[in-house]
Each structure stands twice: as C-alpha cells, then as structure tokens.
C-alpha cells in the first residue's frame, strides 16, 4: 500500500503565512511598547530632583560588591530554612485538612480543634507568632529548649500550615462523593480510599495555589531575622549599619527575587497545565 503525504492547499498555506506574520508583528509591537514605557520610566526616575542622592544611598556599586559575600552567606540560611519550613507546612497542612474532613459525630472534637487551629493561625499576623515563639517561649527556660532559628521556623510552619490546610481541604472536598462510594464498594478502607483515590486527585487540582503559598513563604523566611539569626536580611542590616548606606538591602532584595524566579516559573507552568487539562486541550 502506498501512502501519500499531506499537501496543504494554497488557502491553508496563506492562512499559516498570515498567522506567522501576525505573530511576528505582535512580538515587535510588544517589544516596542515595552521599550517606550521603560524609557519613559527611566527618564522620570533619573530626572527627579533627588535622584543623585537616592542613587548614592541605594545603588552604590562598591558597597554592593562589599556586602554581597555576607548577604549570600545569609541567603544560604534562608534557602535551607525555606526547604525545611515548606516540607513541614505542607505535611502539617495536609494532616489538618484530613482531620477537618473526618465524618461522624465521634470526630467532632477533632474537627473542632482543626478548625480552631486554621482560624487562629490564619488570623494571627506572622510577625506576632514569630515574637511569641522566639521571644516568649525561651523565657520559660525549659530544659531542651531549641535554638531561636528552630523556633522561628516553627512559627512559619504553624502559620503557613493554616493556609495550606484550607487549600488541601478544598481539593479533598472537590472530589465527587460518588468516587468515595465506588472505592468503598470495591472493598477499600477509608485510609486506602484517601490514599489511592482522593488525595492524588486533590493534590493535583490544588497544586497551583499550593505553589503560590510556597512562593509567599520564600519571602517570609526573611522575617526570621527579627529574632536574631544572621540571614540575608540581617546581613544586609549589619552592612547598612557599618556603611550608613542602604545598598545592601537592595542586594538582598535582588537575591530574593532571583531565588523566587525558578519557583514562580514552575508555578506558572503547573497552572497552565492545569488550565489546559480542565479545558481538555
């Protein structure tokens, strides 16, 4: 049997050529408009009367080079803290979400405690939780008191697990009850149903908002510096106190942005894939 290759018609080739021209034109227009807006903003900022003083106070290249090693060392602490707190908050949030979805009157006290937990830590400002755990708890002078860095990480885990628990709960409750009934009719226990049927679907559906909360956590790990650990923010503060210049804070901010870019890109990709999957594309 001989097969013939597909040959597009002249009308089809014309449409494809038109789409290519429109794509190139759209890219050129976007680039031109972006350059124009950027130029206007640059002129507006650099033409301000106080720009020279602001540039000397916030954008000094020599001070930035001097502060970079210490800020990078502090950023390594932020990165390790981010990984540990993200894992802890995700696991604790998942447990709380499962407890909130337990059915039956016998589990009402557990549901009430889990609900109170989410209400409390979603309502409390993170900085207050940090102060309570890093300044108040050590005042108890208990044996085996963990270091301040651990207490600060615990404050982040407790606060963010309250938000993540609600995200997980939304995903669990989005699974249709008929799937649970079908799993139980096949002989699966409640634990097996949650593990093999409900949780895989729930986590996949709420992956984008979960990653968004992790991005927010990546920024808030810098608040641990309020308790004393020398992270990127604290290192920038020390360098600023030595030079009387705020450029080290700009260095720390740029490093935090660079740290967040890969995670934000992954979040956008997961969100796009989820949208395509829901639309059937």
Question: Which domains, ranges and CATH numbers included, belong to the chain?
Answer: 63-280 (1.10.3720.10)
Report how far residue 209's alpha carbon sits from residue 129's, in angstroms, rounded to the nearest whole number: 23
User: Which residues touch 97 (CB under 8 Å, ≥6 apart)?
Assistant: 164, 165, 166, 167, 168, 169, 172
Report how far residue 209's alpha carbon sits from residue 139's, in angstroms, rounded to the nearest whole number: 37
Distances (CA, A) of 273 to 167, 175, 176, 208: 19, 19, 22, 10
Mean pLDDT of 237-242: 92
Mean pLDDT of 48-68: 89
Mean pLDDT of 89-103: 91
Using the predicted structure, report yes or no on whether residue 130 has a pLDDT greater than 80.
yes
Using the predicted structure, report yes or no on whether residue 129 has a pLDDT greater than 90.
yes
CA dihedral 135, 141, 142, 144 (to 10 degrees): 80
Q: What is the mean pLDDT of the chain?
A: 88
Spatial contact of 183 and 199, defined as CB atoms under 8 Å apart:
no
pLDDT at 280: 62
Using the predicted structure, report yes or no on whether residue 268 has a pLDDT greater than 90.
no
pLDDT bucket at 43, cuts 50 / 70 / 90: confident
Structure pTM?
0.81
Mean pLDDT of 55-63: 90
- The total of other beta-carbon atoms located within 10 Å of residue 261's CB is 9
pLDDT at 200: 87
pLDDT at 229: 84
pLDDT at 1: 47
pLDDT at 186: 85
pLDDT at 82: 93
pLDDT at 4: 60
Mean pLDDT of 93-117: 90
pLDDT digits (tens, 9 = 90+) for 131-160: 999 988 888 888 888 888 899 999 999 999
């Amino acid at each position: 049997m001989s097969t013939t290759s597909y040959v597009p018609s002249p009308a089809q080739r014309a449409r494809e050529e038109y789409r290519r021209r429109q794509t190139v034109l759209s890219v050129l227009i976007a680039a031109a408009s972006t350059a124009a807006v950027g130029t206007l903003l640059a002129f507006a900022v650099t033409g301000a009367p106080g720009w020279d003083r602001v540039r000397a106070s916030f954008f000094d290249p020599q001070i930035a080079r001097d502060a970079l090693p210490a800020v990078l060392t502090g950023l390594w602490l932020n990165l390790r803290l981010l990984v540990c707190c993200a894992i802890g908050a995700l696991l604790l949030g998942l447990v709380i979400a499962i407890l909130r979805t337990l059915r039956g009157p016998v589990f009402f006290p557990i549901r009430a405690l889990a609900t109170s937990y989410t209400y409390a830590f979603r309502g409390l400002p993170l900085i207050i939780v940090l102060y309570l755990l890093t300044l108040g708890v050590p005042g108890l002078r208990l044996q085996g008191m963990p270091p301040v860095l651990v207490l600060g990480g615990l404050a982040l885990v407790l606060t963010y697990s309250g938000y993540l628990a609600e995200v997980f709960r939304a995903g669990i409750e989005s699974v249709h009850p008929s799937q649970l009934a079908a799993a139980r009719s096949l002989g699966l226990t409640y634990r097996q149903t949650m593990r093999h049927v409900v949780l895989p679907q729930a986590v996949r559906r709420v992956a984008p908002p979960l990653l968004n909360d992790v991005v927010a956590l990546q920024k808030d790990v810098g608040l641990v510096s309020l308790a004393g650990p020398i992270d990127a923010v604290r290192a920038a503060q020390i360098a600023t106190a030595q030079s009387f210049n705020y450029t080290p804070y700009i260095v720390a901010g740029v490093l935090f942005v660079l740290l967040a870019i890969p995670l934000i890109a992954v979040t956008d990709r997961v969100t796009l894939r989820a949208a395509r999957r829901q639309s059937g594309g």
